[in-house]
Amino acid sequence: MRDVVLDKFTDLFGPEFGHGKAFDLAPLRATLAALGNPQDRLPPIIHVAGTNGKGSTIAFMRAIAEAAGLRVHAYTKPHLFKLNERFVVAGTPATDETLINAAERIAAISTDLTQFDAQVAAAFLLFSEAPADLVLLETGMGGRDDSTNVFAPALSVITPLGLDHQDVLGATLAEIAAHKAGIIKPHTPAIIARQVDEAREIIEAHAARVHAPLLQHGQDWDAYTNAGRLVVQTETRALDLPLPALAGVHQIENAGLACAALMHWRPDLPDGAFANGIANATWPARLQPLTRGPFSAPIRASGGEVWVDGGHNAHAGVALSHAMQEMKARRGGTNIAIVGLRKRKDATLFIAALARFADHIIAVPLSDDYVSINELAALGDQLGVDSATAPSLAAAMQNAAQLPAPRVLICGSFVLAAEALAAESA
């Protein structure tokens, strides 16, 4: 399926990766000024940074807000099939026509932008021209110098931090945290997930410098399961909610973070909206089960199950490992990771995370620049996991179906996740 919107943005502004100067906000600020500074004509904005969990946290917040009757704009990334998925305007994905028109309006002012700059400008432009009650905005990389960081938010949210994009953000967690903490603005509240000490200390220091109230998981709010329910508590309120619709123990943290943020932003939101949103939020390719289509049929026929997740860094790998270990402890079976990785990802750390749960690893190629499948399989073998290669995702699935009660996790790239989801619905 041709993505005409992505083609237009690429024609006008170059490819999304490796083109233009990242972290130079001057061209974007100048373009936004020429457009009338649409970022300053928006409903309240909740700005979300972090390593993993940003999209899921936004999905929970959007579902809760919409259950309360609010109209929501949202910009997230990446997309699975079409660039339009990134732009939700008052609850509806933007059309090809409106996005192409926005791209052309921006290009008429300047093409001296990265494609991500242009996407962010398009989001601000479209959001400023449609009424809504709330904007949910996800950063690209980092935060401090990110293209999204050109406005005054109502609230800043930081999800759990880990190592990713070290070539750009820095080799240490402290350096990465310094980038992410940059979305916290003077005298503006920030809600943060539980962090390791190295990251937490950096965030605390930044919030103190700019006199921003900081509400931390484990200190100012908490989220945990009790008797098959999700409990979210702040100093002034407690919610007794259904478990999240999204699978995985890590979604307890994401759901709790979403609730804590919205309880702070709008204390008047009813309990029913939180319950409805948490129970019904959707976010594709985040530990998503394949249960009906032809692609997963061979696995299901052999008594197994199939999960798809776009997670591609060590932090995501650890979360996936916990989820898959928990599934095996409850239901038994053989855990199999089918994995493909782009070259700019840390294959060693990601495979090490998968090795915590996988009985078998099958490496497959991606459609673009990817880590050698032989390298991935060798990393798995070095960690004591039976590892193999397959020429395609379909072939890997056939191989997995021969194992006893296979529980397959397709992971490592949103490109691979999209391939699996497209094949399932074919």
Tens digits of residue pLDDT in 160-192: 997 766 656 777 888 899 999 999 999 999 999
Q: State the amino acid at position 348 in one-letter form.
A: T
Mean pLDDT of 103-126: 96
CB-based contact 257:244 (threshold 8 Å): no
More confident residue, 345 or 328: 328
Task: Give the predicted TM-score (pTM) of the model.
Answer: 0.93
Half-sphere exposure of 93 (CA within 13 A, CB side): 12
Task: Please give the class, per CATH, of domain 4-280.
Answer: alpha beta
Q: What is the mean pLDDT of residues 314-329?
A: 90
Domain boundaries, the chain: 4-280, 288-424
Mapped onto helix, strand or coil, the DSSP state of residue 129 is coil
Tokens of 338: 């089918």
> Facing residues of 74 across strands?
88, 136
Whole-number Cα distances in Å, 376 to 96, 129, 166, 309, 381: 38, 47, 20, 18, 9
User: Tokens representing 334?
Assistant: 């053989």
Assign a CATH topology to domain 288-424.
Answer: Protein-Tyrosine Phosphatase; Chain A (3.90.190)
**What's the sign of the alpha-carbon dihedral 181, 183, 185, 188?**
negative
pLDDT at 18: 59
pLDDT in tens, 75-97: 999 999 999 999 999 999 999 99
What tens digit of pLDDT does each residue of 32-86 get?
A: 999 999 999 999 999 999 988 999 999 999 999 999 999 999 999 999 999 999 9
* Percentage of the chain exceeding pLDDT 90: 83
Q: Has residue 418 got a pLDDT over 70?
A: yes
The residue among 326, 329, 372, 334 whose CA lies nearest residue 351 is: 372
Q: Which DSSP helix (H) or strand (E) runs through 234?
A: strand 229-234
Same topology for domains 4-280 and 288-424, yes or no? no
pLDDT in tens, 284-298: 999 999 998 999 999
pLDDT at 20 over 70: no
CB 356 within 8 A of CB 328: no
Q: What is the pLDDT of residue 329?
A: 92
* Single-letter amino acid code for the residue at 43: P
The tens digit of pLDDT for each residue in 198-233 reads 999 999 999 999 999 999 999 999 999 999 999 999
DSSP H helical ranges for 162-249: 166-169, 173-181, 197-209
Residue 344 has pLDDT above 80, yes or no: no
In whole numbers, what is the pLDDT of the chain averaged over residues? 93
Would you place residue 22 in the very low, low, confident or very high pLDDT band (cuts 50, 70, 90)? Answer: low
The SS3 of residue 89 is: strand
The pLDDT confidence band at residue 276, using thresholds 50, 70 and 90, is: very high
Q: What pLDDT, on the 0 to 100 scale, is given for residue 369?
A: 83
What per-residue confidence (pLDDT) applies to 138? 97
Tell me: pLDDT of 19 over 60.
no
